[in-house]
Chains A and B, each alone.
Chain A
Amino acid sequence: MVNNIKESPLYRIINPRSIAFFGASNRFSSMGTNQLNSLKSLGFEGSIYPIHPREKKVLDLVAYQRVQDLPEIPDLAVMVLPTEVVPQVMEECGQKGIRHAIVVSGGFKEVGGSGAELEKRLLAVADRYGIRFLGPNCLGVANPHHKFNMTFLPFEGQAGFIGLASQSGSLITQMFGYLRRFGLGFSAGISVGNEARVDIVECMQYLAACPHTRVIGLYVETIRRGRAFIETARAIVPHKPVVAFYAGGSEAGKRAGFSHTGALAGPDALYDGVFRQSGVIRANSITELFDFCWALGACPRPGGKRIIVQTHSGGPGAAAADACSRSGLELPSILVPTRQQLAPLVPHTGSVSNPVDLTFAKNPLDYFAAIPDILLGAENADGLLIYFLAPSQSIRRTMQDMGVSDDQIPQLTEKLFTDQSRALTDLIEKHQKPLIGFTFQEYNDLFVRTLLEHGIVVLPAPQRAARAMAALVRYQQLSEKIHSKQ
């Protein structure tokens, strides 16, 4: 295991201070140019040295004809080059003294034949100089905490707490906007490509030691070092959750045949077992991968699986309750002391069972403070799912009806939302139990945005909130199982 992040072979690949960049030009359609553009646009603070045989400047950066000409030994070489020249360029980098690289170029082992031969040559060169490299055939790294993004899409959004190691490059670059929608971001996103010298296991070790990473996400098509994966994951999981989406189709899986009990065994069932044994939470879709990462990175750990649903609308609350049972969560009944506490706050139309359906609260602010305080405080509750509906439009109308002047309304609305969000975060802090919201509101609605800014998990459907809560429970169970060594 890597205890200090700087011991990881990935450290300078993910946190370079200076970069030699091969394959960018002033031709704006080329992939390399796009990648250099991404690097510049996030405001990388180290030195960037484009290497180009003819250009004096590339994207306004001084270009060098050969890597030997560079004024220093850069931490990292990035190669977006035609396949055939990569081994030679790796050789030159080695001679210069560069010890880390990202090989974006494809056309190696993944295409077979001469590509596989070329990859062997590349490995021989890299090994001779002790160069650790990511790829080939990868999209590279995005580390927004280091203002480092050399993938071909510009980074958007903010740095966050999700560390993703992916066998699909698109899952890194194309998720920037998706995560931003929820106020989320990567702590680091690593596209592993062919995993020739750095594989997903080493990425897990790096992310386990990475202080910005609160949860590790994996996009897996095949696990190349099976036993190492299991042992590494089991060492990490008690300290940091790991979530994986397995896309199947692995060579390993296809070949895993049990000829006699044969018809029974599928690669998918094998991976189910591998993840469970590893303590890794398996997500069933990409959406779920990020839902789970969000909840695990943002919520306190539940002590058990007894969940209360708070709503003021019947359907969404019932749907959440239903999804809870389907996800293996329990819906405890509301105990007498809790009922007594709630009684003064709940109108006669409300229902104090589970879901707690308030229809409306006597005082609207109670919904965000007094009521969840009581429910989270209940001794038989391990977590709370809460339905959010507060469209800015209707708040505005209410304020108008109350005679608030138009110019005061935006400010008051903002304050109201901020107060409500803060009340909820205070309660999570106080009770140390998970609270997950769900809503059908748009994510650009001011209320939802304010909740997200305060770090509250709000998912766009009741079943997604319930599944995310179940993932929290699952994490507790898995880490306890691993912890309880004999």
Chain B
Amino acid sequence: MMIESMDLIKTALDKRQRALSEYTSKQLLRAYGIPVTQETLVQNFTDAVSAADAIGYPVVLKACSPELMHKTEAACIALGIRDESELREAYQRIVTAIDLDLEGVLVQEMIAGQREVVLGLSRDPQFGPCVMFGLGGIMTEIINDTVFRVAPFDRIEALDMLSELRSSAILDDFRGQAAADSETICTALMALGQIGLDHGAVAEIDINPMIIDPAGRVVAVDALVVLGGEQNGQ
């Protein structure tokens, strides 16, 4: 896990990247046991079709580049693609609209779920790597419900983060949807702290959102690893 993740980060640093692409960010997270969307990075439409067939429709298409830190522009992303013809249209739109060197186009499973949380890592000059957990979704910034812990911390502390959230009820049974897989959220929170401890070059991580699906399964749908922490690492 360390070797693999070291390589990911080293390669990016060698290329003077300020961040890892979404695809690489998720590879790093997956290496630490954080569940991420099933996805394939493709270089041409034919491969996109095979990837979508393998994953199963509906899928999501995303432009993938370390330069693309904010995927707010609609041009970078196509959600809920139901079949090959929609895939073709979306693929064309994305590759023509983006004026960047792309790592490729990401074909991603579409996670259905109305409940969203955010997880993050940042560095504080006094406390070192700090892990954040918060309520996600469109109201995130209005509701501003976030809690923090300093890495490393144990599972009990991670569970305590979940219960400290003002809107922690979102993790319980909710309108016919199953309770969120808290164990996995805890694993993810501890893992983020561990990445911060293992890799000084990681300045920040932003998992936004992690979706809780109706069965309670949790998946990191979008992720960004920002580089430029302590360059020498540990």
Contact = CB atoms under 8 A, between A and B. Distances in A.
Interface of A: 222-227, 230, 250-252, 255-261, 263-265, 269-270, 272-274, 276-277, 481, 484-486
Interface of B: 69-70, 118, 120, 122, 124-128, 130, 132, 134, 140-141, 144, 146-150, 153-157, 160-161, 164, 204, 206, 208, 224, 226
B132 A272 contact: no
B208 A261 contact: yes
Nearest to B154: A486
Contacts of B120: 258, 260-261, 265
Given A256-B122, A269-B146, A486-B155, A261 B127 contact: no
Most chain-A Cβ atoms within 10 A of its Cβ — which of B144, B149, B150, B161?
Answer: B150
Nearest to B145: A264
A201 to B, nearest CB: 12
A258 B192 CA distance: 14
Contact of B206 (A225, A230, A261, A269): A261
B148 A252 contact: no
A87 to B, nearest CB: 27
Given A255-B124, A256-B122, A481-B160, A261 B132 contact: yes
A260 B208 contact: yes
Contacts of A269: 146-148
Contacts of A258: 120, 122, 132, 204, 206
Contact of B149 (A225, A277, A481): A277
B141 A277 contact: no
Nearest to B146: A264
Contact of B147 (A226, A255, A272): A272
Nearest to A222: B126
B124 A264 contact: no
Contacts of A251: 125
Given A265-B132, A481-B156, A259 B204 contact: yes
Most chain-A Cβ atoms within 10 A of its Cβ — which of B125, B127, B149, B226?
Answer: B127
Contact of B126 (A226, A265, A273): A226
10 contacts: A226-B124, A251-B125, A258-B204, A261-B120, A261-B206, A264-B146, A265-B122, A269-B147, A269-B148, A273-B149
A142 B178 CA distance: 57
Contacts of A276: 160, 164
A30 to B, nearest CB: 36
A264 B144 contact: yes
Most chain-B Cβ atoms within 10 A of its Cβ — which of A251, A259, A260, A272?
Answer: A260
Contacts of A255: 124-125
B184 to A, nearest CB: 17
A474 to B, nearest CB: 12
B9 to A, nearest CB: 18
Nearest to B152: A227
Given A264-B132, A272-B148, A486-B154, A252 B204 contact: no
A265 B70 CA distance: 18
Contacts of A256: 122, 124-125, 130
Contacts of A261: 118, 120, 132, 134, 140, 146, 206, 208
B156 A484 contact: yes
B153 A226 contact: no
A221 to B, nearest CB: 12
B211 to A, nearest CB: 16
Most chain-A Cβ atoms within 10 A of its Cβ — which of B130, B148, B224?
Answer: B148
A246 to B, nearest CB: 13
A263 B134 CA distance: 12
Nearest to B203: A259
A201 B118 CA distance: 32
Contacts of A259: 204, 226
A263 B141 CA distance: 7
Nearest to A223: B126
Contacts of A273: 130, 147-150, 161, 164
A103 B208 CA distance: 49
Which 6 A-B pairs give the minimum distances between C-beta atoms? A273-B148, A226-B127, A260-B206, A226-B126, A252-B126, A256-B124
Contact of A226 (B150, B164, B208): B150
Contacts of B148: 265, 269-270, 272-274
A274 B130 CA distance: 9
Contacts of A481: 156-157, 160
A348 B69 CA distance: 72
Contacts of B149: 273, 277
Contacts of B146: 261, 264-265, 269
Given A260-B206, A260-B224, A261-B206, A277 B124 contact: no
Contacts of A270: 124, 127, 130, 148
A257 B118 CA distance: 15
A223 B154 CA distance: 22
B24 to A, nearest CB: 16
Contacts of A230: 127, 150
A263 B146 CA distance: 11
B127 to A, nearest CB: 3
A274 B206 contact: no
Nearest to B224: A260
Given A223-B126, A485-B154, 17 more contacts: A226-B127, A256-B125, A257-B122, A258-B120, A258-B204, A260-B69, A260-B206, A260-B208, A261-B120, A261-B132, A264-B118, A269-B147, A270-B127, A274-B127, A274-B148, A276-B164, A486-B155
